Structures are given as C-alpha cells and as structure tokens.
Structure 1
Amino acid sequence: NKKSWKKRLLNDLVDKIGSGATPKGGKESYQDHGISFIRSMNVHDGYFNYKDLAYINSTQAKQLSNVIVQSQDVFINITGASVARSCIVPDDILPARVNQHVSIIRCKSDVLNPIFINNLFLNDSFKRILLSIGLSGGATRQAITKKQLEMLKIILPPISLQNEFANFVHQVDKSKVVIQKSLDETQKLYDSLMQEYFG
C-alpha cells in the first residue's frame, strides 16, 4: 500500500458474504441438468473450472435461496486444502447456488470492484494473509469463517482507479485468448507438417 490508500473492513464494502450447504442426500441427489451447484473444486485461482460442475433441481435450490449467485459475485473457498482460492462467477453458469465450502462475496458497486477485490485475493502477499487465517484455528482442516472474511482489512483505491484496473485486466484477458488461439493454430500446423514429412 505505497500510495497510503485508506483501509476498510470488507464487511463495509459488500452487500453479502455467505456460504450455502449440501442438499439432502449429498452427491446422489445431484442432477444431470438444472441449477448450477458450485463446489470448491470449481473455484480455482483466477478462473472457474467447469469440470464436474454439479446441478440441483428447483426444490433443492429453493432450500438454498439465501445463497443465490448473481452476476459479478466473487467466489472464495473457505474450507479444506483449496482454502483461499478465488474467482469471479462466469455468467454462463447462472442460475446457481454454492455449497458450504464456498463463500459468495457481493461488492457494493459504488465502492468496490469485483475484479479488483478478486485480484487482491490472488496477490501473493494477501494470499499469505488468507492462508494464515485458514490455518489459525489450529484444527486439522483449514477454514476461514464468515467473521474472519468480514474483518479483512482491504486497501481501497478510489473506485475510478479500481474500474480502470478492471478494464486493463479485461483487455489483458482478451489478449491472452487471442494469443492462445494463435498458438493452438501454430501447433496444429506444425503437427500437420510433421505428419506430412515424417508420418
């Protein structure tokens, strides 16, 4: 915080911090389609992993109405070996709910940008703080409580700067996709030529 920006408690900057539960019957109750059910295995640092995405029906979803996921929500894992991993919800999985191992953080848009806070969570020094909180209970299972999330001290640049940063991140991500596509096409061409000459 070289700019000496103000620090505020996360609780003052969000509309919601909350985690869900596993529907009755556990894994056996999951559906082939329906409402997305987010588990810690889906939340990775900076990206959402669609592999093994579970689904629940509308009755199960109704029981989790306190953890309805909204666009721009930030996910953070709060228990287990993947504690402190975070990403932003992709809109294509909505409607969705979360289980008890994942917390939703919903920013107040006039003071906190979700891309900014997610990147703060991914920052090495802040990640160490989150991981140390996860280990602080002394239990065998790593965990971050709702209260601990609420009490996190967050550096708070002006929202205009946060939005500028978010736009920059968005442009970088778009560039990464273009570069990756180009690399994939180059690899295909290389493989095709190798096959032609040496196959």
Structure 2
Amino acid sequence: NKKSWKKRLLNDLVDKIGSGATPKGGKESYQDHGISFIRSMNVHDGYFNYKDLAYINSTQAKQLSNVIVQSQDVFINITGASVARSCIVPDDILPARVNQHVSIIRCKSDVLNPIFINNLFLNDSFKRILLSIGLSGGATRQAITKKQLEMLKIILPPISLQNEFANFVHQVDKSKFENIVYLNKTLLNKILSQIGDVIRD
C-alpha cells in the first residue's frame, strides 16, 4: 500500500456476503437442466470451470432464494482444499444459486469494483492472508467464516482508479482471446495447407 490508501472492512463495501446449502437428496437431486447450482469445483482462481456444473429445479431454487446470484457477483470458496479460490460469475450461467461451500460477494458499485476485489483476492500476498485465515481455526478442514470475510481489511483506491484497472484487465483478457483465436486459425490453415499438399502429391 505505497499510496497509503485507506483501508476499509469488506463488510462496509458490499451489499451481500452469503453462502447457500445443498438441496435435500444431495447429488441425487440434481437435474440435467434448470437453474445453475454453483459448487466449489466450479470456482477456480480467476476463472469459472463449467465442468460438472449442476442444475436444480425451481422448487429447490426457491428454497435458496437468499443466495440468488446476480451479474458481477464475486465467488469465493470458503471450505475445503479449494478454500480462497475466487472468480467473477459468468453471465451465461444465470440464473444460479450457490451451495454452502461458496460465498457470494456483491460489491457496492459506487465504492468497490468486482474485478478489482477479485484480483486483490488473487494477489499472492492477499491470498496468503486468506489461506492463513482458512487454517486459523486449527480444524482438519480449512474454512473461512462469513464473519472473517466481513472483517477483511481491504485497500481501497478511488473508484475511478478501480474502474480504470478493471477496463485494463478487460482489454488484456480480450487481447488474450483474440490471440488464441488467431493462433488457432493460423494452425488450422497450416494443417489444411499440409493436407492439400498431401492430396496434390
């Protein structure tokens, strides 16, 4: 914090911190389609893993109405070996709910940018803080409580700088995607060209 920015409790900067529950019946109650049900296996550092994404029906979702996921929510894993992993919700999984191993953090948009806070969670030094909190209970199972999340001290640059940082991250991600598309297209063209040479021979 070389700029000596103020530090605020996370609880003062968000509209929501909360986790859900697993519907009765556990895995056996999951559906082939319906409302997305987010589990810790889906939340990875900086990205959402769609593999094994579960679904629940509207009745099950109604029982989890306190953890309705909204666009720009930040997910953070709060129990188990994947504790402290975090990412931002992708809009294409909405509507969605979360289970008890994942917490929703919903930022107050006038003071905290979700891309900024997610990248803060991913920062090596802050990640160590989160992991140490997860181990602080001395239990065999790592866990971060809602109260511990609320009491996290967050470095708070002006929202204008946070938004500027978020725009930069967005442009970098966009550039990465475009480069991947370009490289894949180049590779495909090379393969097709080689196939053409073989056919002509």
Which TM-score applies when normalising by structure 2?
0.91
Question: What residue number does 2:182 align with?
Answer: 178
Rate the CA distance shift 1:28–1:165 in 2: closer, same or farther, 3 A. Answer: same
Offset at residue 175 of structure 1 (A): 0.4
126 and 25 in structure 1: CA distance in 2 versus 1, 3 angstrom threshold: same
- Kindly tell me: are residues 190 and 37 of structure 1, through their superposed partners in 2, closer, same or farther at Cα, counting changes over 3 Å? same
* Partner-residue secondary structure (3-state), 2:134: helix
- Which segments of 5 or more consecutive residues in structure 2 lack a partner in the other structure? none
Taking a change above 3 Å as real, the CA distance of residues 190 and 121 of structure 1, as seen in their structure-2 partners, is: farther
Task: Give me the whole-angstrom Cα distance separating, in 1, the residues matched to 2:17 and 2:70.
Answer: 12
- RMSD between aligned alpha carbons? 2.3
In 1, the alpha carbon distance for the partners of 2:133 and 2:173 equals 30
**Following TM superposition, by how much is the alpha carbon of 1:178 offset from its aligned partner in structure 2, in angstroms?**
5.5
Which residue is equivalent to 1:197? Answer: 199
Shift in Å, 1:189: 3.0
Alpha-carbon distance in structure 1 between the residues aligned to 2:190 and 2:97: 39
2-structure distance, mates of 1:130, 1:182: 42
**Shift in alpha-carbon separation, 1:89–1:179, aligned structure 2, 3 A:** farther
Q: Shift of residue 196 of structure 1?
A: 4.0
State TM-score, norm by structure 1: 0.92
63 and 164 in structure 1: CA distance in 2 versus 1, 3 angstrom threshold: same
In structure 2, relative to structure 1, the CA distance for the partners of 1:178 and 1:97 (3 Å cut) is farther
Q: Structure 1 residues 173 and 25 mapped into 2: Cα distance closer, same or farther (>3 Å)?
A: same
Structure 2 CA distance for aligned equivalents of residues 191 and 25 of structure 1: 54
Cα shift at 1:191? 9.5
Gaps of 5+ in 1: none
1:10-45 deviations in Å (ceiling 9; x for gaps): 000000000000000000000000000000000000
- Whole-Å separation in 2 of the counterparts to 1:12 and 1:180: 45
- SS in structure 2 opposite 1:87? strand
Instruction: Calculate percent identity across the aligned residue pairs.
Output: 92
Structure 2 residue 74 is matched with structure 1 residue 74: yes
Aligned pairs for 1:1-199 within 5 A: 1-176=1-176, 189=191, 192=194, 196=198
1:191–1:61 Cα change, 3 Å: farther
